[in-house]
Amino acid sequence: MFPGLGPAIAKSIVELHNGRIWVEPAEGHGSRFCVALPGEAAARKTAALQAPARESPRKNRTATHSRN
């Protein structure tokens, strides 16, 4: 993709967040580094799909109510 330690670190971080990183030529100005990250809802959905299944935290609990 592109050489150097900095871009490699950026690529790793972006991919950990289920994003994309790429380089586009910017005529007369070198290159433009572009990053696209999913929105918060998409990130939560992806995290939920990747997380191991677990029991509901409310299972086997007894509700108690107190009045003052």
Check if the beta carbon of residue 21 is closer than 8 Å to that of residue 11: yes
| pTM for the full predicted model | 0.49
Domain ranges for the chain: 5-45
Query: pLDDT tens across 24-66, in order?
Result: 888 888 888 889 988 876 667 767 777 776 655 555 555 444 5
Residue-averaged pLDDT of the chain: 75
